């Protein structure tokens, strides 16, 4: 798992640095409409966190009991949220005292909790608290929790969350108080979706604990393939939102009924036209297909995305099990990042900010890659120094 975690941390650094550079291929960038390589990283990190979460929770429960264990989880999760805020700020800047006081504390908190809080560390922390009731439960309970999260997220999105995330009028904003604010990575209710790869991580820990590595790898690979098939199958519902040629549409790029598919659109169409583009391939523009809940998008974090991404993480982890536990291969870079992930994350943010200032968004590809090499090398050397001196940051 250290090797797999180290891979996800390294991948996160690469896509974070390259994400805003024009010369970089879109598959290495985050987006809201299809599953890119960049979009595979965060779910894999959540999956790795679920594996470690289950391991740590069971160990602490045996040693310290329920109250002490869950109090420790809550404190650690709160610390992750605080670290996230200190690293990334509150995603808002006030240029004057008048603007600060004009918003007021209620508006500030409403925007923070709706959209601005949800960087990866904060998502991990809150998701861990959300999963406290089931983290020590039997596998079937956690499978039921996965289904409950998927159904609950779809229900909330149908009720209000699609408009809530996209900054459109909805009844929740009338109470929440942050009308018009758009979210990313699911916003406040995205926790239901991010819990899915984390729960699959807990189930993977069980499989690894119960079986020899070779046997476990085979099972994990099959589970991963099955989940990817299901995720892709759900994404095919997005083809029902294709815009007939010459037909006028409303609401710009967003579908009128994003959660409940217009099944009538499938009539008299050949099967091939109902198959969505494969992962890592972008969909047609909104003029040809309206954005909807069934795309493998990361803004609302729908079920096609969470299931395919969880399956991708499972299959990739199975490959790491074969490479590391069966084949005995170790990659020093992955070990360094994987054993000190929190320190690496904090260091990379500072290094990225400094180096990216010298790499404008319109830089040629060669300069983008030079900047990536400098940033990545500096980050690695600093984290390696901590490793060599036995300094590991834990929460």
Phi, psi of 242 (to 5 degrees): -60, 140
Q: Determine the Cα–Cα distance for residues 344 and 310; give it in Å rounded to an integer.
A: 24
Residue 226, in any domain of the structure: yes
What is the mean predicted confidence (pLDDT) over 254-259?
92
What is the mean predicted confidence (pLDDT) over 182-198?
94
* Average pLDDT score over the chain: 92
Range with the poorest average pLDDT among 41-50, 94-103, 178-187, 266-275: 94-103
Residue 77, in any domain of the structure: yes
Chain CA centroid to CA 125, Å: 13
Number of Cα atoms under 13 Å in the Cβ half of residue 294: 26
Which of 183, 131, 128, 126 lies closest to 157 in space, CA to CA? 183
Residue 351, in any domain of the structure: yes
Residue 329, in any domain of the structure: yes
Q: What percent of the chain is predicted at pLDDT more than 70?
A: 98
Q: What angle do CA 66, 71, 73 make, to 5 degrees?
A: 95
**To which residue do tokens 């320190």 refer?**
343
Q: What single DSSP character describes residue 243?
A: P
Residue 393, in any domain of the structure: no
For residue 248, the model assigns a pLDDT of: 56
Domain range for residue 216? Answer: 2-388
Residue 246 confidence class, pLDDT cut points 50, 70, 90: low
Count how many domains the chain has.
Answer: 1
Res. 268: pLDDT tops 90: no
Residue 14, in any domain of the structure: yes
Residue 194 near residue 186 (C-beta atoms within 8 A): yes
Residue 286, in any domain of the structure: yes
For residue 254, list its beta bridge partners. 291
Range with the poorest average pLDDT among 98-102, 141-145, 332-336: 98-102
For residue 184, the model assigns a pLDDT of: 87
Residue 395, in any domain of the structure: no
């Amino acid at each position: 798992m250290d090797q797999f975690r180290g891979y996800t941390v390294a991948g996160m650094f690469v896509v974070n640095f390259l994400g805003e550079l024009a010369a970089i291929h879109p598959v290495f960038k985050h987006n809201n409409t299809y599953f890119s390589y960049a979009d595979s990283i965060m779910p894999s990190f959540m999956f790795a966190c679920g594996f470690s979460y289950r391991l740590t929770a069971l160990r602490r429960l045996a040693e310290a009991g329920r109250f002490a264990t869950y109090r420790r989880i809550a404190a650690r999760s709160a610390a992750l949220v605080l670290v996230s805020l200190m690293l990334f700020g509150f995603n808002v800047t006030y240029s004057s005292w008048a603007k600060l006081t004009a918003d007021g504390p209620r508006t500030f908190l409403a925007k923070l909790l709706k959209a601005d809080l949800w960087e990866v560390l904060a998502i991990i922390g809150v998701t861990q608290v959300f999963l406290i009731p089931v983290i020590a439960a039997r596998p079937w309970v956690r499978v039921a929790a996965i289904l409950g999260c998927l159904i609950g997220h779809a229900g909330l999105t149908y009720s209000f969350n699609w408009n809530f995330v996209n900054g459109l009028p909805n009844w929740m904003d009338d109470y929440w108080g942050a009308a018009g604010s758009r979210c990313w990575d699911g916003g406040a209710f995205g926790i239901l979706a991010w819990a899915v790869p984390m729960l699959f991580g807990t189930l993977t820990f069980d499989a690894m604990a119960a079986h020899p590595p070779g046997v476990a790898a085979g099972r994990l690979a099959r589970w991963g393939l099955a989940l990817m098939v299901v995720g892709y199958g759900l994404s095919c519902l997005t083809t029902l939102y294709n815009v007939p040629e010459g037909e006028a549409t409303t609401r710009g790029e967003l579908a009128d009924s994003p959660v409940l598919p217009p099944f009538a659109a499938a009539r008299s169409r050949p099967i091939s036209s109902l198959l969505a583009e494969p992962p890592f391939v972008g969909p047609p523009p909104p003029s040809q297909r309206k954005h909807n809940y069934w795309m493998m998008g990361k803004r609302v974090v729908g079920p096609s995305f969470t299931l395919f991404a969880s399956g991708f993480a499972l299959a990739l982890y199975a490959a790491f099990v074969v490479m590391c536990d069966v084949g005995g291969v170790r990659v020093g870079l992955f070990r360094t990042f994987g054993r000190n992930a929190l320190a690496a994350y904090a260091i990379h943010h500072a290094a990225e900010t400094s180096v990216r200032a010298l790499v404008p968004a319109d830089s040629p590809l060669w300069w983008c890659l030079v900047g990536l090499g400098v940033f990545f090398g500096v980050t690695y050397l600093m984290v390696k120094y901590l490793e060599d001196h036995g300094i590991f940051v834990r929460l």
